[in-house]
């Protein structure tokens, strides 16, 4: 029992930064949205107007789902908070499962643990319990945020359960993917593909008014719980059943496979393919090509959907609705260009997260001990780290261009009056903030390698959440401007903001330069 407890505590310690970051996000987002709603809509008339105007707007359903009784604080919270945090919960569950199970095997640490005084069954249960405790921490954080906002305890607890149920299902998905795929990266890609399908089903269900599709996937189940608008606690039986099935499958595979192996294992031998093996940077390009291509393809597809919806969103914006959106931090959404400019903020977030993922891949090379062998050869540190920064920059550029091209194709197909060059410019407008976040992520990895990736992701999420909730709370402009997202103009609806962009790029390059110097002089550290 003691070895299992030690392994559980070790897994919890490994996840502490990630768990605390998401817990803070869940608490603050739930609390601030309630406070902002009550300030923006103090009277019943204001709230009825909000419900009337928001009911069938396709653009808002895309991000938050179908609203129900948003004239009430609980209904609005269920829609706005639940719709966003369910996505974050899915990401957390998938990442937590793959990190706790597959990544430990990829690093070789679990093989040593399994050779000690602990059985495979006990190790599986201990790691699963650690992930379960992190999910419980997220549930408690969201519950406390909702209670601090003044919501009823029963509804708050049920809503938090609905959100965390998504994380639990994706934990199961991550576990099965970790058993099937030969590496943690491949497991994340498989889980990400299933998440994309889940999100697509939710979008089609909400925008196309096909609520029956909600019953096919976890994001739809979370939306159907409706904690404050006709609670349906029985819906939670669906994610519970899904978790039981997924965990049973994962455990059955775990008992039959070798440590480090997978059901879809890589071949032991293959014809040599020497392409892209001339340098560490080209090897990194080869290894990251599939993942980067997936980011680009997913971005282009999502941008097409957004471009298609832009004109319909504008046609549904009555003067009253425009006033309501302005209260929620979306002023300027009066034309298709304005709507698309606002949507591109989400691509800025995506590209920033992509940059963090590239730095995470670079850090993984160090944590796995591969850099010690590499740097024993004629390969210098600055060249290697600079090459990873260059690859991340090129990937960010390609994703930005894919966003602009996809939005242009969708807008043209829907008949929106937005020019092709303007939307390509909107895509390129995503890059200055991304350069800043890439430089910050590189600096954090160079200075604090073990905590740097978690801090980098936390910095991006914190900046984005602050931009969203700061406008809702009507904080002073200078304080809202601390977030890089506030420095990005709604291109193509407004002109490119050259001065803030230049400052962000300069800061990003400066941080990257300091990171190179620091990485050259510090010791290499394992996981």
3-class SS letters over 33-59: HHHHHHHHCCCHHHHHHHHHHHCCCHH
Among 262, 297, 331, the domain boundary falls at: 262
The answer to whether 414 touches 340, Cβ cutoff 8 Å, is no
What pLDDT was estimated at residue 259?
A: 67
Residue 89 tokens, joined: 């919960």
**Do 257 and 353 fall into the same domain?**
no
Q: Which two tokens stand for residue 47?
A: 């709230």
CA-closest candidate to residue 472, choices 328, 349, 358, 281: 328
Residues 6+ apart with CB under 8 A from 430: 344, 347, 348, 351, 396, 400, 403, 488
Task: Read off the pLDDT of residues 230-247 as tens digits, 9 standing for 90 and up.
Answer: 899 999 999 999 999 999
Q: Are residues 105 and 188 in the same domain?
A: yes
Examine the domain organization and report whether 78 and 35 are in the same domain.
yes
CA-CA distance, 12 to 18, in Å (whole number)?
10
Same domain as 489, residue 462: yes
What's the distance, Cα to Cα, between the start and end of the chain in Å?
A: 25
* Residue 307 to residue 314: CA distance in whole angstroms: 12
Report the alpha-carbon distance of residue 12 to residue 132 in Å, rounded. 10
Would you list the DSSP string of 464-516? HHHHHHHHHHT--HHHHTTSGGGGS--TTTS---HHHHHHHHHHHHHHHHHHH
**Under-50 pLDDT residues of the chain:** 328
Chain centre to alpha carbon of residue 283: 27
Helix residue ranges per DSSP H, 262-380: 280-315, 319-327, 336-367, 370-375
In angstroms, the CA 304 to CA 413 distance is: 9
- Same domain for 417 and 450, yes or no, is yes
Per-residue pLDDT of 262-315, as tens digits, reads 666 665 566 767 776 778 888 888 888 888 998 999 899 989 988 887 777 666
Q: Are residues 239 and 326 in the same domain?
A: no
Spatial separation of the C-alpha atoms in residues 322 and 316, rounded to whole Å: 10
Q: Is residue 270 part of a domain?
A: no
Indicate the DSSP class of residue 416.
Answer: -
269 in a structural domain: no
Question: According to the model, what pLDDT value does residue 102 have?
Answer: 78
Please check whether residue 102 lies inside any domain of the structure.
yes
Distances (CA, A) of 59 to 73, 263, 266: 21, 41, 42
Residue carrying the six token digits 């093996």 = 277
User: Do 281 and 252 reside in the same domain of the chain?
Assistant: no
Judgement on whether residues 303 and 439 belong to the same structural domain of the protein: yes
Same domain, 252 and 297: no
Contact between residue 66 and residue 213 where contact means Cβ atoms under 8 Å apart: no
Q: Please, which residues have CB within 8 angstroms of residue 510's CB and are 6 or more apart in sequence?
A: 439
Total domains in the chain come to 2
- Residues contacting 479, CB < 8 A, separation 6+: 470
Token pair belonging to 188: 């994340």
pLDDT score recorded for residue 172: 95
Composition of the chain by helix, strand, coil, percent to 5: 80, 0, 20
Residue 45 structure tokens: 């008339």
Maximal C-alpha separation, the chain:
72
pLDDT for res 477 = 79
Residue 267 lies in a domain: no
What distances in angstroms separate CA 66 from CA 74, 80, 203, 224, 234, one per listed residue? 14, 10, 9, 10, 20
Q: Which of 228, 262, 296 is the last residue of a domain?
A: 262
In a domain, 422, yes or no: yes
324 and 256 within one domain: no
- Sign of the dihedral through C-alpha 136, 138, 143, 144: positive
Q: Is the peptide bond preceding residue 356 cis, with omega within 30 degrees of 0?
A: no
Same domain, 253 and 291: no
Give residue for tokens 């504008």.
314
* Residue 480: domain span: 277-527
Residue 116 sits in the same domain as residue 253: yes
**CB contact burial 39-77 (16+ within 10 A = b; e otherwise):** ebbeeeeebebbbebbeebbbbbbebbbbbbbbbbbbbb
Q: Which residue is it, tokens 């900046």? A: 463
Domain presence at residue 271: no
């Amino acid at each position: 029992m003691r070895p299992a407890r030690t392994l559980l505590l070790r897994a919890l310690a490994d996840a502490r930064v990630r768990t605390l970051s998401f817990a803070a996000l869940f608490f603050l987002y739930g609390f601030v949205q309630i406070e902002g709603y009550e300030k923006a809509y103090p009277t019943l008339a204001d709230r009825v107007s909000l419900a009337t105007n928001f009911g069938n707007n396709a653009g808002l359903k895309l991000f938050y789902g179908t609203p129900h009784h948003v004239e009430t604080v609980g209904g609005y919270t269920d829609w706005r908070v639940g719709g966003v945090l369910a996505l974050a919960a899915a990401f957390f569950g998938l990442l937590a499962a793959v990190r706790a199970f597959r990544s430990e095997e990829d690093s070789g640490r679990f093989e040593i643990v399994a050779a000690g005084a602990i059985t495979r069954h006990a190790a599986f249960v201990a790691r699963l319990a650690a992930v379960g405790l992190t999910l419980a921490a997220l549930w408690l954080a969201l519950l406390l945020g909702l209670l601090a906002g003044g919501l009823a305890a029963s509804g708050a607890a049920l809503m938090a359960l609905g959100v965390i149920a998504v994380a639990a299902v994706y934990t199961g998905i991550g576990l099965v993917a970790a058993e099937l795929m030969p590496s943690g990266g491949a497991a994340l890609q498989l889980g990400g593909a299933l998440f994309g399908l889940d999100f697509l089903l939710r979008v089609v269900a909400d925008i196309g008014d096909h609520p029956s599709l909600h019953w096919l996937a976890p994001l739809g189940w979370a939306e159907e719980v409706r904690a404050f608008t006709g609670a349906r606690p029985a819906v939670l039986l669906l994610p519970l059943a899904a978790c039981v099935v997924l965990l049973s499958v994962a455990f059955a595979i775990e008992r039959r496979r070798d440590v480090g192996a997978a059901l879809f294992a890589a071949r032991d031998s293959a014809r040599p393919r020497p392409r892209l093996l001339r340098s560490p940077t080209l090897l990194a390009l080869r290894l990251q090509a599939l993942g980067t291509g997936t980011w680009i393809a997913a971005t282009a597809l999502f941008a097409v959907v957004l471009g298609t919806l832009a004109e319909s969103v504008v046609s549904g914006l009555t003067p009253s609705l425009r006033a309501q959106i302005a209260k929620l931090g979306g002023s300027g959404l009066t034309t298709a260009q304005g709507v698309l400019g606002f949507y591109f903020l989400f691509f800025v977030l995506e590209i920033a997260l992509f940059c963090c993922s590239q730095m995470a891949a670079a850090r993984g090379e160090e944590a796995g001990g591969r850099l010690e062998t590499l740097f024993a050869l004629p390969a210098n540190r600055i060249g290697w780290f600079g090459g990873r920064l260059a690859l991340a920059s090129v990937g960010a550029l390609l994703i930005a261009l894919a966003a602009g091209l996809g939005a242009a194709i969708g807008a043209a197909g829907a008949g929106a009056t937005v020019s092709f060059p303007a939307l390509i410019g909107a895509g390129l407008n995503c890059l200055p903030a991304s350069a800043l976040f890439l430089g910050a992520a590189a600096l954090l990895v160079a200075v604090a390698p073990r905590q740097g990736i978690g801090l980098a992701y936390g910095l991006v999420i914190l900046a984005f959440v602050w931009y969203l909730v700061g406008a809702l709370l009507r904080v002073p402009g200078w304080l809202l401007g601390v977030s890089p997202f506030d420095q990005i103009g709604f291109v193509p609806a407004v002109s490119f903001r050259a001065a803030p962009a230049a400052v962000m790029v300069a800061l990003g390059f400066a941080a990257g330069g300091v990171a190179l110097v620091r990485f050259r002089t510090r010791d290499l550290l394992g996981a």
